[in-house]
Chain A
C-alpha cells in the first residue's frame, strides 16, 4: 500500500518502513532525513549552528504533489510500494523530518527510486524549513530549479 502524510508528531521510522511491505517484495530502502545542527552557508561558506527547525507546509498542495511523486516513481522504477511521511512544526536537532520508504522485489530500483523521490520532494513539494539560531532565524529557500519562476 502506498501512503503519504504530513504529521506534527514524531515519526516512527520502523512503522513507516514496514507498512510498505507486500509479500512479493524482497527489499525496502528507507531514507531517514533528520534535523542537522551545523549547516554550511552555500554563499558565504560560514558554518551556522541551528538550535531547532520549524517546517511549514501548504498542506493540501503538498499532499497532491506527494501523490504525483509516488505515481511518477512507480512509472519509472520497478518498485511496489512507496510511503512518504513529512514532519511539520517544530523539530529539535536529530529529530526525523522526513521518511521515504520504497519497497521493491529487488534492492537496486528501490535505492534509485528513493534517491529520485527525495530529490524531487525537495524541489516540488510545498514545504518550507526555518532554521532558528541563538541570535536569529532564517527561512531556507530551495535551490530553485523549482517548477516555474514567474518573476524572471
Chain B
C-alpha cells in the first residue's frame, strides 16, 4: 500500500520535498506515518507538527489506507 505525503512551508523546506510516496504496512496510523517521517528528518522534531488526512485535520489515530493523502505541516499562519 502506498500513500502520498505532502509538505508545506517549513516542513517542505526541511524535507526538501513537497510530495513523496510512502509505502505503508496495513493498520498503520496517521501518527505512525508522521513519526516515521520525523525520524527521517530530525529537524522536524523542533517544530510543533500538525497533520491532516485526506484534507481534514487528523488526530493521528486514524488508520491510513491505500491512496490516502496525508499532509505534515507546522501551525498555520495565514491571515
Q: Is chain B a partner of chain A in the same complex?
A: yes
* Residues on A facing B (Cβ under 8 Å): 33, 55-58, 60-62, 64, 86, 97-98, 118, 121-130, 139-144, 146-152
9 A-B pairs (CB sep. < 8 Å) = A58-B6, A121-B78, A122-B76, A127-B79, A128-B8, A128-B9, A129-B79, A139-B10, A141-B75
* Residues on B facing A (Cβ under 8 Å): 6, 8-10, 12-13, 30-31, 34, 38, 45, 47-52, 55-60, 71, 73-79
Contacts A127-B78, A147-B50 given: A58-B59 contact, CB under 8 Å?
A: no
Closest beta carbon of chain B to A141's beta carbon, Å: 5
A139 lies within 8 A of B77 (CB): yes
Contacts A121-B78, A122-B77, A141-B74 given: A128-B10 contact, CB under 8 Å?
A: yes
A62 CA to B6 CA in the complex, in Å?
A: 14
A129 CA to B8 CA in the complex, in Å?
A: 11
A61 CA to B74 CA in the complex, in Å?
A: 15
Closest beta carbon of chain A to B26's beta carbon, Å: 20
* A-B pairs, 3 with minimum CB distance: A127-B78, A128-B9, A150-B60
A127 lies within 8 A of B52 (CB): no
Which residues on B sit within 8 Å (CB–CB) of A86? 78
Closest beta carbon of chain B to A103's beta carbon, Å: 21
B79 lies within 8 A of A118 (CB): yes
B52 lies within 8 A of A151 (CB): no
